[in-house]
Amino acid sequence: MDYACGDSRRTKKDLKRKRQFRVFKRGGSFRSSDVKQKQ
């Protein structure tokens, strides 16, 4: 249970990082800038 709690807690952060990483991997500099501005 403890693990699940921690996992769901850093899920939002992980998701955000994964999303940015995906954008970078795709080579979408424009999208990367957009995401940074929206943050």
How far separated are the first and last CA of the chain, in Å rounded? 31
Domain span including residue 9: 2-38
Q: What percent of the chain lies above the pLDDT cut of 70?
A: 15
User: Minimal CA–CA distance to 28: which of 38, 19, 16?
Assistant: 19
Chain position carrying tokens 């954008």: 23
The tokens for 23 are 């954008």
Q: How much is the pLDDT for 1? A: 44
The tally of domains found in the chain comes to 1
Query: How far is Cα 12 from Cα 8, in angstroms, rounded to an integer?
Result: 7
pLDDT(13) > 70: yes
Structure tokens at 35: 């995401």
Whether 19 and 38 have beta carbons less than 8 Å apart is answered as no
Mean pLDDT along residues 25-29: 59
